[in-house]
Structure formats: C-alpha cells, structure tokens
Amino acid sequence: MTHAPASFTPEPGGSVAVFLEPSADGLAARLADPRQPAVLVTDQGLTRGDGVFETMTAIAGPSGHRIRKEDSHLERLASSAASLDLPVPDAESWRQAAAAGLEAYAAGTPGTDAVVKLVATRGPEGVPGGGHYVSGTADTGSDGELTDVTAGTKPDAPALSGTYWVLVSAVSPGLAAARERGLSVLLLDRGFDSSVSERAPWLLMGAKTLSYAVNMAAMRFAAAQGADDVIFVSSDGKVLEGPTSTVLLARRVPTADGADTVELVTPLRSSGILPGTSQGTIFAAAQEAGWDLGYGPLEPSDLLDADGVWLVSSVRGVAPVTSLDGVTLDVDRELTDRLATFLDADRSPGRHGPLH
Amino acid sequence: MTHAPASFTPEPGGSVAVFLEPSADGLAARLADPRQPAVLVTDQGLTRGDGVFETMTAIAGPSGHRIRKEDSHLERLASSAASLDLPVPDAESWRQAAAAGLEAYAAGTPGTDAVVKLVATRGPEGVPGGGHYVSGTADTGSDGELTDVTAGTKPDAPALSGTYWVLVSAVSPGLAAARERGLSVLLLDRGFDSSVSERAPWLLMGAKTLSYAVNMAAMRFAAAQGADDVIFVSSDGKVLEGPTSTVLLARRVPTADGADTVELVTPLRSSGILPGTSQGTIFAAAQEAGWDLGYGPLEPSDLLDADGVWLVSSVRGVAPVTSLDGVTLDVDRELTDRLATFLDADRSPGRHGPLH
C-alpha cells in the first residue's frame, strides 16, 4: 500500500479517518477529517448493513501506540468478510492505515489511548463488483474456464470495489466507570436455537457484520428496564453472548492441597456466537497460569451458580456482571483483576484465538 | 417543511438525492447529487445498520409522477421507526421531499417511472439524541416529571437528530424480464420459530431496518446455487417471506355453478414477517373482486400444492415462482395478470394494509 503524507491533523481529542482507496499500484491510504461527509447514500454498508467491522484499543506508550490483539482482530475481519463473500484489503494494508491514523491522532492528542475501528462495506450499488458480487472471487463460465464476476481483475484477486476505512477516536470517558461499577444485565431471547449456525450459513452467525440493529434494540430494551447490558440466550436455553461482548464465567475449585484452582468457561462457539478476541487472549494467559478452561454449553443457572461472571470486549475490557435479571451475583474482585491482567498481557491467543 | 429550490438537475437517467435537514422552522429539503459523499463514517445507519427504509415505485403520467401505495409505505416507515425508538420526520415532510426529488428527476429524465427510496438513520454517534436515544420520546426523571432524553426539544417532539433522505433513481432494466421469466426459488431456514416476534420485540421482526446483511447473504447463497430468489421458512417449518418480498399463493376453488372462485393466501403476519404493502393493496382489490382471502399459517407443501405462487414487492411487482427447490410449479398466467392489475389499481389497502 502507498503511504500518504499525514494530510490531516485533528484538534486535541479529535478523530481521524483513514480511507483505503484504489491507486495505480493497489491501495493508498488517505487521511481525512471524519466530520466531513465521506460515504455515498448508495453505499451498501448504509442501505443494507452489508459490511463488516472490528473495534480495537490502541495503548499509548513512549514509542507510540500499540494496538491490542491486532492480529486476532485482523484474522476475525478476514473471517467475517469471507462469510459475506466480501473482498477486503489484506492485513498489511489495514495495519498501515491504522498506524497512519494513530500517528495523526497522536499529533492532535499526544500520549492517550485510542479506539481504532476498521470498517469494510460492499461499496456503492451499481458499481462493477459492488452490487453484483455473487460467490467469492470467481464464477465458472459456460466454457468451463474461470471468469471473474468483478470487472478488470484477476480471478485470484477480487476487485476491491467496497468502501474501506479506519477511524481513530478517543476512548469514551464513561467506560472505565462502567467497568469499575459492574453491570446489571438482562437475559434476552436471541430467537435462534443453538444449532442454527451449523445448518444455515446465510444467517452469518459468526460474522461481525454492520447489521447490528437487533443488538442495539436489545441494548435499548435493557436500558428502558434500568439495566446496563444484555446476555442473549438461545431459544433452547443456552447462554450465547452480549450484543457487543463475550460472556466468561469462573468457578473456584478446591484442590487436594487445600488451595484453589480456577475454571474459566465461555459459551460453546458452535452455538452461533462471535469468536471473542478478548476471550481468546484471556484464555491463552489463563492456561499459562494453570487455570482450567472450558467451553460451554452453558445455561443461565450456570451463571447464577458461578463465582464470577464477566462481559469482555476490546474497548470496555473486563466488566463484572453484578446482577442478572435482578438477582445479585457474587463479584470476585481478585478474579476480575487477574482477568484484566491477562487481557493487558496481550499474549498471542494461539488455539484459543478467534479462528482456532 | 420548507420548500427548497430545485438546486440540482441530474443528467438523463441520473439519480437525485433529497436530504431532510433541520432548519429554523423545522425541516428543509435540500436537493443534491447522490454521486457526492453525503454521510459521515460515524453515522449509526452505517456503523450499526441502525435505521429504517422504504422503497416505492413512482409511475410517470401526463401530470407528473404518482407514487404507488405512498400512504402504506409512509405508515410502515413510521411503524418500523417506532419499533426502533427512532425519531423520524412526519409523513408530509417525506411526501414533499419525494415530490421535490421526482420533479428534479423528471427534469433530467422526462416521462419514465422511477424508484423512490426513503431512508432514516439514527445519525452520527456522539450527537445529542443520536447515540443516546433510549426509549421513545421521553424518560421519567427522578422528580417524576417527563424529561427529554434528546437535547433542546419538547417531550412530545423528539429531536430529529438522525439522517434522513429520499433517493429517486431509474428502475433497474432487468426487473421486467425477471418478472416475465418467473423465479426459481430456494427455501432457506430463517432460524427463528414462528412465535418469536411476539415474545421478543427487540428482534425487530416486523420492522424494515437497514440491517439486511442476512437477507443479502441468503440471496447470494441462492445465486450460487443457480436460483433467482429465496423464501424463508421458520425453524418450525412455516413459510415466512422473501428477503425483499412477500409470498402469495392462490388456489382455484370450484363452485357449485361450475365456475371457479379464487382463494388468495399470504403467510400469517404474526409469524414475524414484514407487512407487505403490495400484498395489502392486492388483497384489497381481490376482495372487491369477490376472491376469498386467507392468512396462513402456510407450510412448504402448501406452496407445492397451490395453483400459483408469487413473490410480490413494490419495485419488481408480481413475479411468479416457477420452481421451488428444483421442483417445477404451475404458473397461471391469467392469475398473474389479475394480481398485477390489482397492484396497479393501487386501491387503499384498508384493513388489509400494512398496519391493519
């Protein structure tokens, strides 16, 4: 990807957008003020929620920002895009765009953590490859040869006809307080049974798409009941995930020598949930620490009986659940701190990561 | 709403955007070239699929365009927005914006039908009322009085802090051919059981939201199998709807006097489907014509046994289903023509309409 000069410096606290756009030699990064309109009303990300995204945290340090779990996020973005048959830039292009955005952000707001969002949409309707992209990179023509369904590209390199950008912005000030205070959570029916993702790939259960209207409606429903967040449950009674987070629970297990060990459990991935990048990182560190790891299936009673329940996500981090449908849950401060330390350590998730 | 001068005339065949924007006395319509970027990357319509839409057909006539079923579409838009707790402009503002867009469109492309799309999003994140709109128009403060959760508005008039536009564009040339040829259709599992919409309003089953990634994925899945379209089936085996259409079936019923009467049936609305504006209009005219009307529940075998099955939608119109999962269906040309005539007549849907 071509490096573009830092053509935009935001005011203190201001956000930076970096667009990945076609250029003579592939893709170029263009810095821009996100307060300026940038997207067409015909973009299918907007008209159909047809796209994917990732939200990452960048930690400020003496030699610039370090993006937490960047590899895991980029792997999951690629996996989500594959579910949607959506051509997206390669990981290195995203990495460079994020770095350019963070550099410009730091010029306006030095030395503070930031949120880095990556978005890819199918692009405007009616553009070659945009509205007509059918099944991956290529289609078999009547003569039996591979013919590309997008215009002007090799069969093995689908046209990047979508809209792609990185947005670097300030961390919302309320998140640390919410994390500290803990979350009152409602259990809400997600409508699907826990085996649907295996039989119906068109439901995109494991993809992080832009179609989040239901997730947002569930959060509004919870807020209207005075709750902070939601844990979705399948129609067959299995614990799934939060609208923007992964569920973890821990059990302290007494050992023969009188000490405790900890069992850390997350819902079964095949039940149709997003693979959590924070969960993967925490699990990798927990395993190194000698904890036992478990993968559901979990039911609401498992949450009530646990020694701790958390919603984990990249930006809010590790937030303890303090009540579930109005029932107070035990909060284990020591375990919360250890999970947060595991996340901060940002170890490679290995086989506990989003794609393994 | 303030009338704005027609500040933009498209080239022949070109589209027109009309933005509804805050002004001193409410809302103003601003005409614009939709090939220019108009939406922020932080718009929640884009980042969360958090918004609603309608797509209407405008028929060209000697005294300008007539929008088919405009009342039904505006009612459904309001109903969808209510499901999402989304403040939207009133019907009259939409009507005026659509009329202004059609006038400009006709200046570029006289005398041809057009597609009129209405879109409302929750607007940019972080704007007062934008990202913080919780539960309708007002919230009860600790003193028991109504306090508005949006900034600077009366409790009974939620701030129009979203992004609102009308897009007028040409009718896609392939639609008439698809209608004429008929559709090969796949049945695909929608994952939900048919009672979910009643127990889980946060799933937004009856709302036409911008979160259409699953609908688009289902269409791509069908295309990859060589099919033209999809009929979704609930996890308990009930016929639901197409990703962008309503299902109708007809049975010819012999009468005592040796003639036929027709029974026209559509799936049960409470099974979690969108109320079809075309279905409502067709049903109203069919009732006047003395047909019997039925509302499911329907199962796939009912489709196989029918004398005709159609997918109806505002832009493509009445399209016969010629095969279902590879099984050829009877196509009744006479019934297809009558249904198309019913739709063209554009009678008030009355109690068969989207909200009755």
- pLDDT of A352 reads 61
Nearest-Cα residue of chain B relative to residue A210: B48
Report whether pLDDT(A187) > 50.
Answer: yes
Tell me, yes or no, if A17 comes closer than 8 A to chain B by beta carbon: yes
User: pLDDT averaged over chain A?
Assistant: 88
pLDDT at A354 over 70: no
Residue A238 corresponds to which tokens in the numbers above?
Answer: 């299995």
pLDDT digits (tens, 9 = 90+) for A133-142: 333 333 333 3
| Residue A158 confidence (pLDDT) | 65
Which spans in A19-68 are helix H? 44-47
CA distances for B214 relative to A88, A130, B180, B189, B284, angstroms: 19, 17, 27, 11, 31
Q: Shortest Cα distance from B205 to chain A (angstroms)? A: 9
Strands (E), chain B: 16-23, 26-32, 51-61, 64-67, 114-121, 139-140, 146-147, 163-170, 183-189, 229-233, 246-254, 260-266, 292-295, 308-313, 317-324, 327-328
Option in B46, B117, B201 nearest A210 (CB): B46
Kindly report, residue by residue over A276-299, the tens digit of the pLDDT: 999 999 999 999 999 999 999 999
Residue B129 has pLDDT above 80, yes or no: no
Amino acid at site B28: A
**Which residues are CB-neighbours of A46 under 8 A, at least 6 positions away?**
A39, A40, A121, B39, B43, B45, B46, B119, B121, B210
Would you say A230 and A243 are in contact if contact means Cβ atoms under 8 Å apart? yes
Identify which of B39, B50, B119 has the shortest CB distance to residue A212. B50
Judge contact between A295 and A265, C-beta under 8 A. Answer: yes
- Interface test with chain B among A16, A171, A211, by most B beta carbons within 10 Å: A211
Residue B168 pLDDT more than 70? yes
The stretches of B159-258 forming alpha helices (DSSP H) are 174-181, 196-199, 213-224
CA distance B155 to B243: 37
Tell me what pLDDT residue A1 has. 63
Whole-number pLDDT of residue A271: 87
Environment class of B199 (CB within 10 Å of its CB; exposed 0-12, middle 13-18, buried 19+): exposed
What is the longest distance spanned by two Cα atoms in chain A? 73
Average pLDDT over residues A212-231: 98
Nearest to B50 by CA among A45, A205, A52, A236: A45
Confidence of residue B198 (pLDDT cuts 50, 70, 90): confident
| B54 DSSP β-pair partners | B118
CB B292 within 8 A of CB B263: yes
Lowest mean per-residue pLDDT among A19-23, A264-268, B344-348: B344-348
Distance (Å, whole) CA A124 – CA A121 = 9
Per-residue model confidence (pLDDT) at position A26: 83
> Which residues of chain A lie closer than 8 angstroms to B34, CB-CB?
40-42
Per-residue confidence band for A260, with pLDDT thresholds at 50, 70 and 90: confident
A62 touches chain B (CB under 8 A): no
Q: Tell me: pLDDT of B178 over 80.
A: yes
pLDDT at site B215: 98
pLDDT at A205 over 90: yes
On whether the CB atoms of residues B104 and B30 are closer than 8 A, the answer is no
Angle between helices A277-288 and A70-83 (to 10 degrees): 130
With bands split at pLDDT 50, 70 and 90, how would you rate the model's confidence at B141? very low
**Token pair 């009467």: residue:** B261
pLDDT score for A23: 87
Partners of A42 on chain B (C-beta within 8 Å) are 15, 34, 167
pLDDT of residue A173: 86
Task: Say what the pLDDT of residue B271 is.
Answer: 87
Split at pLDDT 50, 70, 90, the class of B270 is confident
Q: What is the mean pLDDT of residues B44-69?
A: 96
Which of A39-48, A131-140, A158-167, B29-38 has the least mean pLDDT? Answer: A131-140
CA-to-CA dists, residue A334 to A308, A320, A330, A340, B199, angstroms: 10, 11, 12, 10, 38
Average pLDDT of the residues in B263-291: 95
Distances (CA, A) of A278 to A141, A239, B330: 43, 18, 54
Query: Token match 């990185």: residue?
Result: A166
The whole-model pTM stands at 0.90
Are B46 and A45 inside 8 Å of each other by CB? yes
3-state helix, strand, coil split of chain A in percent (to 5) is: 30, 30, 40
Q: What tens digit of pLDDT does each residue of A43-78 get?
A: 999 999 999 999 999 999 999 999 999 999 999 999
Closest of A63, A69, A64 to residue A118, by C-alpha: A69
Please tell me the predicted confidence (pLDDT) of residue A296. Answer: 92
Cα–Cα distance measured from residue B232 to residue B186, given in angstroms and rounded to the nearest whole number: 8
